[in-house]
Structure 1
Amino acid sequence: MTIRTRHEYENALQALGICVSARIPALLWGNPGEGKTAAVESASSSGWHVETVIITHSEPSDFAGLPVITDGSVSLAPPAWAARLADHDGPSIAFFDEFSTASPSLQAAALRPLTHYEVGSLQLPPTVSFVAAANPADVAAAGWELAAPTASRFVHLDWAMPYEVYSEGLVTGAWPTMPVYSEPDGYQRILADELVLVSGFLRVRESQLSVIPKNAEQRGRAFPTPRTWDYAARLSAFAQAVDAGADVRRLLIAGCIGGAVAHEYLTWVNNQDLPDPELLLGDPTAISFAGMRADRVFVTLQSVLGAFSRQPTAARWSNAVDVCARAASQAGVDPAVPVVRSLMRPATRPKGAAVPASIKVFAPALALAGLLPKVP
């Protein structure tokens, strides 16, 4: 996406702030001198500590640690920037600038900090966020394309400085700062709903679960994998919880799984009109599944499973099974089988929960899975 207006700039800035706040690594792509570093370091005005690491001055030991012999054993001593992050009491950002100059060996060394928060023998606290900035390989000094394992650990956001923002900042000296957030109220509930939607979409479009591009340049940007789908769900939920606009949500999802797949996913989501799962758990007859599309049936039942899991009582379990059975009777067994299998597992079923007689519609599928219960 090309950023041409202040509105688009602020959307990109908010998308970056959501990634930082959700502790999901983000990578800013833009030409040199367009304010990427300043945007990240502006978080310091909100009380965040920022450690900037210039990748052109780094080597693999700056991420993997330097071997040191102590009392006859070898440990991996962390660099000073990592030690300062570990010692800081509060939210912080590890900012890797000029990341497109990272050689393949340096990219490989950076993988563990990004996903396991380990630098050498040092464990970083969960209050650390990772951000990187990169110039496109064709304009970077000694630039490299990102390898797919590295690219899939980031949310990819395009960056540019539009004239409107630059001229105002130049004259007034006031520049937009990156917004940062604590975990918003309702985030976990919204995330549960978003995970249901991702699960439903991938049931319809299973081929989009993991698609590694064949082109080297495209492998260095966003593409769908199980990890990036998880990123997309978490960021989409966070964006909704902080009342970010639809454009910001779209930027975040596209930055995780790529623009084409994001468009397909959001179009599918917008065409869903799902009932409240709590309504169904209170009254399994509340809606009719007759004539409902199979993908919508599946997503509705997944939302019922998620709602039961948040409050797992015997009565709610029985009603959840009854909802699945009614869906199977009215719309077909196939979209209901995965959910009822989950409900029938011994670890999921509450002690003393009654099995509704309607479960007989699943007898063949449950018998095959070894989960067929005894019905009085």
Structure 2
Amino acid sequence: MSVNATTVSAGEALRVLQAGWAAQMAGGLTVSWMLHGRPGVGKTELVQSLASQIGAELFDLRLTTIEPQDLRGLPYFDHEAKKTVWYRPEDLPDTAAPAILFLDELTAAAPALQPTVYGLLQERRVGRHRLPANVMIVAAGNRVEDGAIAYDMGTALSDRLIHMIVQANAEDWVKHYAMPAGIHPIVAAFIRTRPDLLETTEDSLRRGQMIACTPRSWTRVSRIMDSVSDRALRGVMIAGTVGSAAAAEFALLADEIAATVQIEAMLATPRRERAALYPRTLHGLTALVYGLTGAASRENLAVAIEILADLRGMGGPALGGLPVSELASFGFELLIGRAFEQGWQEVFAGSEAYAGYAAERRAAGLP
């Protein structure tokens, strides 16, 4: 049975859930949500981001690892009242603070568990225990066609949920996930220049291959890049994470970037001597933008602004006609976002380099 809901990126799904939370807190909409999507597309990370942004405690229940009594609790006999009483399980929220109850792997849960889940999704209770009004319920799971272990969701269950299909989107991933998550700049640059390799599950299934590229697997590649310095050992690990073909392409890019991108040196070099340090390839410049944003601090932000502003003047024959203006604009979008997150707006306000860059854009009729 297909899921006839809207397909959205992870960033769009996050914005929908934020609006749902706001509506729930205003007392106008208390519902349960369901995120469908292929394995590794980022459903769990999405819910973790939501919890962080709204300041909620996350109660993460993996439904494939529990039995009905784990949700219902355990009974004991109250001799004085002459009745059976149930101990509430500690995995269910019972707090006055904001909380998210995340029912992960819902579509892979045993059918015997579903009647217990019904009460949580529709009535927000299990037995006599009711969830507080400040608890948001979000479920997630794979679809049968995704090649994962999954059961078709019956109408009795699906009717209790608002559904969204989460699909990997490279632009959304690099802009809204890679930077906040601290993804290695080489990984971010690779996905921006090879967006077709962010998610290859369907292609891998068609080829009969076990390993596919997913947002989750590229996050793991980022951790490998941060943790393993030996190139040969790192290559084996990455091939075992995203497959040998994607790993070979990534290795070529990583070598190129490692040889040309010198972020620390650029930040330490006077402005008039910096031109020779700019990479001469699109891959290298893209990695420079991500690495510069990730390395930015209040102390070096003014220099980072200069580096991006001067990138616009590095085009033409010097860089073989590469789209440096567009890349500089994208870099400023990332850097401004980081500055607002950290409260560094005054550095931009006082930057002559950024004022010159903004004036050039206005003169060209650009926003």
Classify the TM-score, shorter chain: 0.3 to 0.5
* Structure-2-length-normalised TM-score: 0.42
